[in-house]
Structure 1
Amino acid sequence: MSRYRIAVVVGSLRKDSFNRRLATALARLGPPEFEFHQLRIDDLPLYNQDNDGHPAESVLRLKSEIAASQGVLFVTAEYNRSIPGVLKNAIDNASRPYGQSAWAGKPAGVIGASIGAIGTAMAQQHLRNVLAYLDMPTLGQPEAFVHAKDGLFNADGSIGDASKAFLQAWMDRYVAWVKRHSV
């Protein structure tokens, strides 16, 4: 495959969130044949099984964007030691009805940033549990619990010098993972 479309799911709605900034900066570290597209999840209805037979247009759009991708990159915040509700809602909407999950088989990467010293370690672990159930081969190493502090981003939004080598190595592993596992 010569081009890879990557669906990027940011688990934060805040316009200038650390994780949205991280997702944008990480995309710059990818190779030219990788196109990163942040998916919209703020307009999804709360998942309700009663709607499985007639999903909202926003749910159909999300599922279509995932289906058109060769991989998924989750960039998540951590709320109360777990994944944000908006992220779980997006996952649930795109995985239903049972047997029609848009996520199945899509190679995934999980990363996140937080002002806390352990980054988003707990949220990432919870997310990995969900992704295992969804049959998404998920990059296990290296783990990346990014501490959002001064210097993480340059003025132009790129990754700062102190973190660039580590995050470039993470991106290189993610790229290899997608290439190995994309269908």
Structure 2
Amino acid sequence: MSEQITAGIGRRIIAFVVDAVPGLVLFWSLVAALGDKIGEKDGTNITMRFEIVNGQTQAELFGTLYHLDDGPAALVTLVGLAYWIGVLVVWQGLTGRTIGKSLTNMRTVDANGRPCGIGRAAARWVLLIVDAFPYIIPMLVGFITAVSSPDRRRVGDRVAKTWVVRADAVGRPIGVDHESD
């Protein structure tokens, strides 16, 4: 009897949220600490926006508006990128793990069932720009792609030739029916 070794969509969603929360908290804490508060929008607002317009860096966090000078804007950007590259590219590439994948008992692997490597992890990360579309409903393309495929792979996984599997399946080659233990 064959078994499904790729991880379920529910676990993947939980892992994604767990991975995102520390990065978002770090990023927006730095924005609030280093930025100059320049205003508030009226009403209920769930917007999180960080943009550079005409050389000026502005951010909005739940209706609070901030302006960041060049140095603080660069620091916030670099720290944010360092978190995402450190977790989603380096750590995941070398170990197959992220914070969320560790907590949900999953790993990202190559076709041989080994940690995917930094290059494949980088490709998965870059392709989040496709998987996250449309940005008003984050990760919709990735979700639909993963749900509609038997191997539960999003666009980034397909291009990078990676699979997200249950931790107990690490080391097993992908694409081969595995007998239940």
TM-score bucket of the superposed structures, by smaller chain: under 0.3
Q: TM-score, normalised by structure 1?
A: 0.24
* Bigger radius of gyration among the two: 2
Q: TM-score, normalised by structure 2?
A: 0.24
Which has more helix, going by share of residues? 2
